[in-house]
Structure 1
Amino acid sequence: MLPDSARALKAELSQRLAEVPPGAVVARGSVDGSGWSGVALGLAPVAPGQVHLAVRLLARADAEVVLRGLGAAALAEVDVRVIGPVRPLTAPPPTGDDDRWSPARLQQRSRPLRPGISIGHPDVTAGTLGGFVRAPGRPGLLALSNDHVLAASDAAQVGDAVLQPGRADRGTPADRVGTLTAFQPFSPTGASLVDAAVAALDDGVQADPGDYPGGPLAPRVSDALDVDPDELVERVGRTTGHTRGRISAVEVDGVGVQYETAVFTFDDQVEIEGLTGGFSDGGDSGSVIWRSRDRVPVGLLFAGSSTGGSAGGGVTFANPLATVLSTLGVAWPES
């Protein structure tokens, strides 16, 4: 179906979910009593200018509630997947390898700082330094990652230390590289749009913002993602190194992410799946995602599931990078 038709159907089903009585949807409130429906809806590209409605579920039984009453023609254009719980991708234990983009290298102390390496608030295990941005009127670069990586999921204060490597990779106060400058708190009631934060680098801490696999990224950020089934993307992160995948859904609303304290819901997200297996794993949160065809950065990785990917493994969710930058009031470096 055409994207606008899919958006209309998505709006219709979203309204239906909002009106479902408590208990009618199997997954509702099953994680923490938040009332999240356990259903996310988006657009899955299938051909140039053509999409299916993406339906992502915690439990297969919820498909009947969501899709009840749809005609055969509409059901033929629905992409239903059970992805299970979605969680922020904080770090498991370190691994070993010697390649420059290997997890072992990315988990080490790295000076100058470069994209893909381990980073985190002292109270967080570790995540990934996604890249570097600039704030208008402020000299120097800011390190970009997630709220749950640099700001401990809203528990931190501006001015708190940021470590490289993160605590899970044996980072200590002696590994401080900067201070938390800004983050976007999660919405406790409505949907959030980003899980994002930035940190100012301490005096004397150097950074190489263009040191990505294959060289610097493009000096611009995509404002919108084309509905293209062959849109390949890449990222580099602390746990799985340099990986490739494809965008499997866009404009995904109702993504419920299980943080330590609660489930927070996110709208207008990007879903990515790996070409073989998963696209990311715990500790890759904060990775910047770029398009393979033109190296334009498009997303900030923040969460994922363990199932639901068509090539095995789970699916990954990312905030549109343009939304991240506008929300935090920062800009992607032009050079």
Structure 2
Amino acid sequence: MHVDTARELKAALSLRLSQAPPGAVVASRAPGSWSGVALGLAPVGPDQVHLAVRLLAEADAQLVLDGLDDAARGEVDVRVIGPVRPQRSPTPEQLQQRTRPLVPGLSVAHPAVTAGTLGGFVRRPGSDGLLVLSNNHVLADSDGATEGDPVLQPGPADGGTAADRVGTLTAFQRFVATGNLVDAAVAALDDDVQADPTGYPGGALRAEVLTADAVDPDEEVEKVGRTTGHTTGRITAVEVDGVGVQYDEDVVHTFDDQIEIEGASGSFSDGGDSGSVIWRSSDRAPLGLLFAGSTEGGSNGGGVTFANPLATVLRLLQVTFVAG
């Protein structure tokens, strides 16, 4: 169906799901208030998409499909992806080393967090100092931190201690129960800490960040992360609303307008890759900030990864991307 028609259908289904009576949505594994259903757009051709339906529980598929006529049912891409969680939980085999100067992809974290990824570097307008960019759940302990708290490289799970401090938490976008747009935070580097913003695999990224509406499905993309290193994949859906991310056993925050990615071979990301900057392979234009993923639902068996549009991250944190 045409992309505009799909957006209208997505909006109508979202409204119907929000009005469903208690118990209508099965999602037996969904804690909190999340319905267990996320809706987006999956490309099939020029200006043509299928409605992407991502489910926590297979039993909820019929509830969504019952609202569609026969023609629309043929235009739906339904997948059960299981629980979606932040990309963390490192293992001993994934430990990373203390590295100076700092480069994108390194292990980094708040002292109360295990380890995530240093995605890249940004700058506040009017300030010369560099700031580290990563996730709220990596640098700010999922809203549990206070501005001015230390940031370590490597993260504690990789042996980081107070002696490995590289900067201080400067700003983070706080979570709300529903309708989050980003999981993002920045930390100002200490004066004696050097950094190389060009240190991505293959060299510097483009300075121009893709706007959210310029991020197209089926684009080939790359990232460098603390756990899986340099991986490639492709965008499989954009404008995905209602992504429920399980931050712990009882807390789920939902995110709207997200980017879905699959790995070219296996998984695009794994625990500890949260905070990675994602770029378009064709021209090295940065476009996303990786923050969560699943182990189920990918067409190649590697699950799916979710990313915030990087342009949205920069706008909300009021910073600019530093490419070199």
| Matches of 1:46 and 1:146, distance apart in 2 | 31
Residue type at the aligned position of 1:35 = S
Say whether residues 1:39 and 2:30 are aligned partners: no
Structure 1 residue 112 and structure 2 residue 101: aligned?
yes
Whole-angstrom distance in 2 between the partners of 1:311 and 1:238: 22
Task: From 197, 206, 210, give the equivalent of 2:198.
Answer: 210
Higher alpha-carbon deviation: 295-304 or 85-94: 85-94
- Aligned match of 1:163: 152
1:271 aligns with 2:260: yes
1:27 alignment partner in structure 2: 27
Aligned length: 323
Structure 1: distance between partners of 2:217 and 2:318: 31
How far has the Cα of 1:225 moved from its partner? 4.8
Which residue in 2 is equivalent to 1:10? Answer: 10
2:193 partner SS: coil
1:309–1:315 CA contact under 8 A, matched in 2:
yes
C-alpha RMSD over aligned residues: 1.3
Structure 2 Cα separation of the partners of residues 314 and 168 of structure 1: 24
Give the match's secondary structure for 2:322. coil
Aligned-partner Cα distance in 2 for 1:227–1:91: 29
Residue 205 of structure 2 aligns to a residue whose secondary structure is coil
**Partners of 1:93 and 1:169 within 8 A in 2:** no
Note if contact 1:49-1:228 (Cα within 8 Å) is conserved in structure 2. Answer: no
* Structure 2 partner of 1:199: 187
Matched with 1:99 is: none
Matched, 1:231 2:205: no
In structure 2, runs of 5+ residues without a counterpart are none
Work out the CA distance in 2 between the residues paired with 1:173 and 1:244.
Answer: 34
> For 2:240, what is the secondary structure of its paired residue?
strand
Alpha-carbon contact 2:55-2:82 (below 8 Å) kept: yes
Give 1:49 shift: 1.7
CA contact (8 A) 2:294 2:305 kept: yes
Matched with 1:319 is: 308
| Paired residue type of 1:223 | T
Task: Give the TM-score of the pair, scaled to structure 1.
Answer: 0.94
| Partner in structure 1 of residue 162 of structure 2 | 173
Contact kept, 8 Å, 1:162 with 1:178, in 2: the verdict is yes
Structure 1 residues 228 and 149 mapped into 2: Cα distance closer, same or farther (>3 Å)? Answer: closer
1:98 corresponds in structure 2 to none
Give the AA of the match of 1:6.
A
Q: Percent identity between the aligned chains? A: 71
CA offset digits 1:53-85 (Å, max 9, x no partner): 000000111011112031221111100000000
| CA distance, structure 2, for counterparts of residue 319 and residue 230 of structure 1 | 17
Which one-letter code corresponds to 2:201 in the other structure? P
Q: Distance in 1 between matches of 2:191 and 2:290?
A: 28
Deviation at 1:277, TM superposition (A): 0.8
1:328 corresponds, among 310, 317, 323, to 317
Distance 1:226 1:115, change over 3 A: same
1 CA distance for matches of 2:132 and 2:53?
A: 34
Q: Deviations over 1:230-289 (max 9, x none)?
A: 410000000000000000000000000000251000000000001111100000000000
CA distance in 2, matches of 1:312, 1:109: 33
Is the contact made by 2:205 and 2:323 (CA closer than 8 Å) also made in structure 1? no
Q: Is the 8 A contact 1:306 1:314 kept in 2?
A: yes
SS in 1 for 2:63: helix
Aligned to 1:250: 238
Q: Secondary structure at the match of 1:263?
A: strand
- State the alpha-carbon separation in 2 of the partners of residues 170 and 266 from structure 1: 32
**Contact 2:30–2:56 (Cα < 8 Å) also in 1:** no
Gaps of 5+ in 1: 96-102
Name the residue aligned to 2:65.
67
CA gap of 1:62–1:320, structure 2 versus 1, over 3 A, is same
Q: Deviations over 1:20-76 (max 9, x none)?
A: 011110016x433x2210000000111122111000000111011112031221111
In structure 1, give the amino acid aligned to 2:74: A
Quote the residue 1:76 is aligned against.
74
TM-score (norm 2): 0.97
The CA distance in 1 between the partners of 2:163 and 2:214, in whole Å, is 44
What amino acid sits opposite 1:42 in the alignment? G
